[in-house]
């Protein structure tokens, strides 16, 4: 990445007005990437990509092995490419550098080769070496992969992305040659519902689903426009105004990642989460797992160590609304349906 692109001014995350649902979903995924990514659905011009870029700018830098195309972690064998792992096993000295958490934008017209990487068959046969040209999944390892208009992306490619995001590995097979490399990233997809829905079986694979709406209150709209104008006039000064808040939020995220292991959720709360999923006819167990993970991440973010019903109430709509079967005759928003079921089972007001 050139110096110029890495220093392009990014709108500060803490200065973004509204869109709390989306901001919370992204922060929780950054604290616990095992939640499984976020699908952001909303109107055009609501700042979806601005918020994702702002989040990446907020994240702490990561240690990587120098000149490694996979952002290999110098200390964790699970996150190393084969080449680095070989050196690591031989106790060879690894040159370590710090880089910004990577964020990869997936272009809409990307081919599978561009995404997964390609194997140079000729070179492999003539020279007997595995000549692999890494793709976007390699670059996204240990970072965020952002797909705008994910509902317009070819279903097969969405499948490939979701498989890699879930397993943390990307496998490319051509003519009997197989290459495997780490591809552990947070998948963030965004789309406009007017341009078509994502297939339910693909939608279910995203951990959380945030809905963002155009802000209606005139005073907030004016504030958003003013913020944008101030930022465009002098990005450096604008960022300085929010630097203290940005640093505090970054520290909270770092602490939450540490605290996550200590967070406890009582068995009866897990049972009630499963009861809600069962009452709402949610297929599979992903909904149960994601809800408890998200609630724990929220507790860690708030620097506590015990999950309460209120924490579950805060995250459960984000975790389940996209997993409900669509009834074309129902006008009620699925988020309200989830909350109603929660209130009945938890006897919560």
Residues carrying an active site annotation:
286
Question: Which two three-digit tokens encode residue 336?
Answer: 């309200």
Closest CA to 212 of 51, 15, 28, 37: 51
Closest CA to 307 of 258, 249, 259, 250: 259
Question: Which two three-digit tokens encode residue 152?
Answer: 């317009």
Q: How far apart are CA 36 and CA 224, in angstroms?
A: 30
Q: How far apart are CA 156 and CA 242, in angstroms?
A: 41
Q: Are residues 201 and 220 in contact, defined by beta-carbon separation less than 8 angstroms?
A: no
Q: Are residues 48 and 36 in contact, defined by beta-carbon separation less than 8 angstroms?
A: no
Distance between first and last Cα of the chain: 51
Residue 219 makes CB contacts below 8 A (sequence gap 6+) with none
Max CA-CA distance within the chain? 70
* DSSP secondary structure code for residue 321 in this structure: G
Q: How far apart are CA 99 and CA 212, in angstroms?
A: 31
| Residue whose entry in the numeric block shows the structure tokens 């992305």 | 161
Question: Which two three-digit tokens encode residue 290?
Answer: 């994601």
Residue 225 burial (10 A CB sphere; 0-12, 13-18, 19+): exposed
What are the distances in angstroms from CA 172 to CA 102, 129, 134, 220, 240?
22, 15, 10, 48, 44
């Amino acid at each position: 990445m050139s110096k110029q692109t890495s220093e392009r001014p990014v709108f500060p995350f803490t200065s973004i007005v509204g869109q709390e649902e989306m901001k919370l979903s992204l922060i929780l995924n950054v604290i616990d990437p095992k939640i499984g990514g976020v699908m952001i659905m909303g109107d055009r011009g609501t700042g979806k990509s601005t918020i994702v870029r702002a989040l990446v700018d907020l994240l702490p830098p990561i240690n990587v092995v120098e000149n490694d195309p996979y952002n290999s972690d110098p200390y964790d064998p699970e996150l190393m490419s084969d080449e680095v792992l070989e050196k690591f096993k031989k106790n060879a000295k690894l040159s370590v550098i710090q880089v910004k958490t990577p964020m990869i934008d997936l272009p809409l017209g990307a081919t599978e080769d561009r995404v997964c990487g390609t194997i140079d068959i000729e070179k492999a046969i003539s020279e007997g070496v595995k000549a692999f040209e890494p793709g976007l999944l390699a670059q996204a390892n240990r970072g965020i992969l952002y797909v705008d208009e994910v509902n317009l992306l070819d279903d097969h490619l969405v499948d490939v992305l979701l498989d890699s995001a879930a397993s943390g590995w990307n496998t490319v097979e051509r003519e009997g040659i197989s290459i495997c490399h780490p591809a552990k990233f947070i998948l963030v997809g965004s789309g406009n519902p007017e341009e078509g829905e994502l297939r339910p079986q693909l939608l279910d694979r995203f951990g959380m689903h945030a809905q963002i709406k155009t802000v209606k209150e005139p005073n907030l709209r004016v504030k958003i426009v003013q913020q944008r104008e101030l930022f465009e006039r002098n990005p450096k000064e604008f960022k300085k105004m929010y630097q203290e808040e940005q640093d505090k939020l970054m520290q909270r995220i770092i602490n939450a990642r540490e605290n996550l292991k200590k967070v406890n959720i009582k068995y009866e709360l897990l049972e009630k989460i499963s009861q809600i999923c069962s009452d709402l006819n949610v297929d599979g167990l992903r909904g149960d797992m994601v809800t408890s993970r998200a609630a724990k991440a929220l507790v860690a973010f708030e620097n506590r160590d015990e999950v309460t019903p209120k924490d579950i109430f805060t995250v459960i709509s984000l975790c389940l609304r996209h997993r409900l079967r669509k009834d074309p005759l129902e006008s009620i928003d699925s988020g309200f349906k989830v909350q109603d079921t929660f209130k009945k089972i938890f006897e919560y007001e």
